Amino acid sequence: MKRTFVDLHICVDFRDRRQVSRMMGKASKLGYRLVGFAFPPNSSNEDIENVRSICAEAKVDLVSRVDLKPRKPKELIYDLRRLRRRFEVICVCCESKDVARQAAKDRRVDLLNFSAVDLRRRFFDRAEAELASNSLASLEVDVKSLLTSEGVARIRLLSALRRETATAREFHVPIVVSSGVSEEGLMRRPRELAALASLFGLDEVASVEAVSANPLKIVRRNREKLGPRFVAPGIRVIREGKDC
C-alpha cells in the first residue's frame, strides 16, 4: 500500500497568500499529501478556510495546527480548554520544565516540541517520556535546526536529538519528524527528512514512519474526535431519530 507522507509543521504567515501558495505547491510536488500549517491562536475560521482553499488547489490536505508557548502550566491549561476543539493538532513548545511536565501528561496535547529551546534547557528526559507514554503526546523533531546550524552547534544538537529520541523509543513515545520551515529553499522530500532522522538514531523503518504513519495517526484520531458523531473514546453516534 502506498504511503501517505505528512509534513506536520509549515510556518508561514497565513496572510501572505502568494507565499502560502508557493509552499503548498512545492509540498505537493515533493510528495506530501497532508501538510500541517501553524496558525496563530487567535486565527478565525475564515483564516483557516482561506488557507484550506489554497491547499486544495495545490492538491494537499490542510491540517490546522497551533503552536502554544505558555509560560506557566496554568496558562497551558487555559489555552487547551479554549483551543482544543478549534484546531486539529495542538503542539506545545516546551520552554520550561513545569510546562513540559504538564504538557506531557495532558491528553489534549498532540506534540511536544523542544526545537526552539536552548540546548542547555531541553527537558525531554526519562520523567518527561514516562508521562508522555501514558498520554497521547508524541515527540516532534523539526529538522530546520539541523539544516540551518553548522559546525559545533550542529554536533551538539545531534547529540541532544540522539539522546531524546532514544529515550522516546525506550518509553514507546511516538516520534514525528517535521520540517518546521518557513522558506521554500529549506523544504525537503519525505525520504530526505527520513534520511536526516537516521542521523539522530532512528532506523530506516522508524525514520519513514516518523514522516508518515505517526503524524497520520494523530490527524486521523483528532479528526474523528472533532467529528459530529464522536461522543467519547469508543462511543459513536450511529443513527439519530425517534425510532433509535
pLDDT, the chain, mean: 92
What pLDDT score does 232 carry?
47
Model confidence, pTM: 0.90
Maximum Cα–Cα distance across the chain: 69
Q: Which domain, by its residues, includes 209?
A: 5-236
What pLDDT score does 116 carry?
66
Interatomic CA distance for residues 91 and 106, integer angstroms: 12
Contact in structure between 170 and 124 (CB atoms under 8 Å): no
Is 222 within a domain? yes
Q: How many domains does the chain have?
A: 1
Is 242 within a domain? no
Interatomic CA distance for residues 184 and 114, integer angstroms: 23
Is 140 within a domain? yes
Q: Give Cα 93 distance to the centre of its chain.
A: 10
Is 28 within a domain? yes
Q: At 81, list the grid cell.
A: 480548554
Is 113 within a domain? yes
Interatomic CA distance for residues 97 and 216, integer angstroms: 28
What pLDDT score does 85 carry?
94
Interatomic CA distance for residues 6 and 213, integer angstroms: 8
Contact in structure between 24 and 35 (CB atoms under 8 Å): yes
Partners of 67 in the β-ladder: 91
Q: At 44, list the grid cell.
A: 478565525
Contact in structure between 99 and 122 (CB atoms under 8 Å): no
Is 149 within a domain? yes
Is 244 within a domain? no
Segments of the chain with pLDDT less than 50: 230-232
Listed in sequence order, the DSSP H helices in the chain are 17-30, 45-57, 73-83, 97-105, 126-133, 144-148, 151-170, 190-198, 204-209, 213-226
Pairing state between β 175-178 and 138-142: parallel
Q: At 66, list the grid cell.
A: 497551533
Is 243 within a domain? no
Instruction: Check which CATH number belongs to the domain holding 13 and give it.
Output: 3.20.20.140
